[in-house]
Amino acid sequence: MSSDWCTIESDPGVFTSLIESFGVKNVELTELWSLDDDSMRMLTNPLDGVEASVHGLIFLFKWQSQSGNAAEGAAAQGNKPLSEEDTPSDLFFARQMTHNACATQAILSVLFNAPNSIESNDGDKVDDNGGRRLVLGDTLSNFKTFTAAFPPDLKGEAIGSSDEIRTAHNSFGSNDAFLSDPTKPKRAATEDDDVFHFVAYVPHGEDVYELDGLQCGPIKVGSYVAEEGKQNWIEVARNAIQNRLESYNPSEIKFNLMAVVQDKRTYLAAHLDKLAAAGVEESSPDMLQIRSSLHEEEEKRARWAVENERRRFNYLPFCVEYLRCLAGSGKLESLIGKAKMVAGEKRKRAEAWKSNGN
């Protein structure tokens, strides 16, 4: 059913593994810790003489209930959702029709709108420009073709009803009986709950769009001048994100920004081949540095695989047995008492912080 979607962690290892499970190639996600010029430049020019592809940005933010509108930041600038008639016919936009699907939907919004993507596993037979062209794979290529003529709401329904997409998404959910008990009714969020939402920013033509599944259409946040070898759209997207951030209290820090970028291993391997073809010796500092970076990327992938397995593992039986052992040894009651004291102190500090008007 389209409602059986779990929440998944906002993590580059999770999202990269998710899209690779669809058959997507030459892509990974990386976190951005700053919006400064150096951080943006490192996305597109990670090495001297190397230009890497950036396919889109994915922004996680805390939804502000008082606004009643997840796109208030863009609307405040006079940017409103485009009607279906005004939306470019080849821009993929889907309404979010399924609870908990906004993370995967934001990722799909970037993948389906990636410029010059290769829309099948025939990518092995097509020049992918040294990994700069995204290979969509058969699963998503077939889905994109099937839904091409659908209106945004039906595209959203199709995402929610796709067994392949839902199964891949749910495979990264927590395997916890307390979280997945179907007999318990779902509690509605209150004003005291932190509710988060994902939106995507993508280039299309010479415009940059914010794709928010809670809106009736895409939002054009600005235009840029397309130049050969440059990705000027990123600055437009950065400005849109900064404008959204300014609508929050300066003390608010619960944000996350990730970029959908070229798989770092592809341009490192290509640069290594380029140095070798130029006759650079294996023992040279440049060769050693690139090999070291490539090794770090492989270690990162291995670390992601371990972390994802841990996310999937059900620790509940272990926890129950551990509590049983603590109770049998007579230690559980004292530990509960200490935990209550710590929780009480934290609660008092939180109440004092709120009473001070912070």
User: Which residue in 55, 102, 169, 204 is the catalytic one?
Assistant: 102
Burial 142-175 (b: 16+ CB within 10 A, else e): ebbeebeeeebeebbbbbbebeebbebbbbbbbe
Q: Are 200 and 57 in contact (CB under 8 A)?
A: yes
Closest CA to 211 of 100, 111, 356, 316: 111
For residues 111, 36, 285, 266, the Cα torsion angle rounded to the nearest 10 degrees is: 0
- The residues that bridge with 60 in the sheet, in sequence order, are 198, 256
The gap from C-alpha 98 to its chain's centroid, in whole angstroms, comes to: 17
Burial class (CB within 10 angstroms; exposed 0-12, middle 13-18, buried 19+) of 347: exposed
User: Which residue in 55, 197, 204, 271 is the catalytic one?
Assistant: 197
102 is catalytic: yes
6 is catalytic: no
Q: Are 210 and 218 in contact (CB under 8 A)?
A: yes
Q: Indicate which residues carry an active-site annotation.
A: 102, 197
